[in-house]
A and B are shown apart, each in its own frame.
Chain A
Amino acid sequence: MRAMHDNVDIIRLGDHKAGKKPRSLREVTLEGVEPECPGVHTLHFKDSLPLAPGQFYMIWVPGKGEIPLTASIISPGDNRGLTVAAVGEKTHMLNRMRTGDRIGIRGPFGSGFHLRDDWLWVGGGIGASPIVASLSALVEAGQKATVVLGSTRADALILRRRAVALLEDGGDVTGGAADVAAGEAGGGAGDEAGGMAGDEADKHPDIIPDDGIYSTPRGSLHICTDDGTAGYRGLASQLAHSLIMERKGSGQKMFKGLAACGPEPMMLTLLELAGLHGLHCQFSLERFMKCGVGICDSCTMDGLQICRDGPVFDGAALSEMGEFGRFVRDLSGRKIEVWKHGRRFTAAEEGDGGDAGPADPADS
């Protein structure tokens, strides 16, 4: 099913010729480590290079490795945030970091989302990162957004307090957060035994009603969980479908477009949905990355490079990409299925081997 032909320009700040600075390695100091849910933290730091929502950094953990991570926080000034799920060796290490620790960054790289009024934005699991980053830019620009954030279950939801804060007053709910007490006691901030981590994470009362919908004049947030422990019971793609049908039925104008980031099977479904309803769309993809600048071809898909031609692609491009939703390349370049042995691939596990852990931290 083809999505409508797009004339949406995808922002490509990452390869702007303003200088080679994005490609140079630089170190940043963490100004805060904020728990999102067990096994997931947002790392706060400052960086002055302009960043468009959807772009990513290559994050170097000295002695451990380097992985691509999309920014979840783009605040006024130079505030940046990366939301990291502990799914492998490097991401576990990042989850145990504290304020004052240093990481290396290259970037930002790649294409960002084009930000327009009255789109439906869907974030599945850790894919919430660039969606919430986009929300902050949309709110700042006075553009309305409908956001779906989905997860397997309630205690795996991430970035929802931030989304609420953005919709409420356009502001930042945390000022660069403190470490989790469990982390300081040496338990490891990424512990799944984080009943305590969960309590810390809810310093701010959860102001989303039971139906999982939070609306303000700026837009609305819709929460969903696979098991129904919070908000709508079902997949993010199902909720998206439901919201589209609601607009259709109510006589309201249809969403102007659909943007998404999350598990590739989810995005494949959403591409078909967009096609059925004639919606423009943009999706943020991921693949294993090595050079991050479009040279080594590790992140290749249908002859394109995710790090340079993407990670954000419009519907027209995606409709031509036969590997989308079906195949990835492993670190040797061998073609493998997106689903393998019941586990879904994730670029954050680069180099950790096949048994590094579940694709969804909430499953561990």
Chain B
Amino acid sequence: MKITKNNFILILAIAVIILIGFFAYFFNSSDSLFKQEITKLKTQSTSNEVESIEQDILDTDLSDLDKELSDIEKEIEAAY
């Protein structure tokens, strides 16, 4: 009986640690995703060759510039 109880506590502790790790990863990943987006926008070649410039133009992604607008709207709706 005593051994079973100890095993249960051990399993529970492991589960809690895994959960904490999961939440930490989740919250950090959204922040790191944003940083990745900014890094990508700030990174381009220094070459003046036409092909290089063309590639960087094509790599310019402007689709998610305003993606937080809906989140802001939700915050304002909820708070006010």
Are A and B associated in one complex?
no
* Chain B residues packing against A (C-beta within 8 Å): none
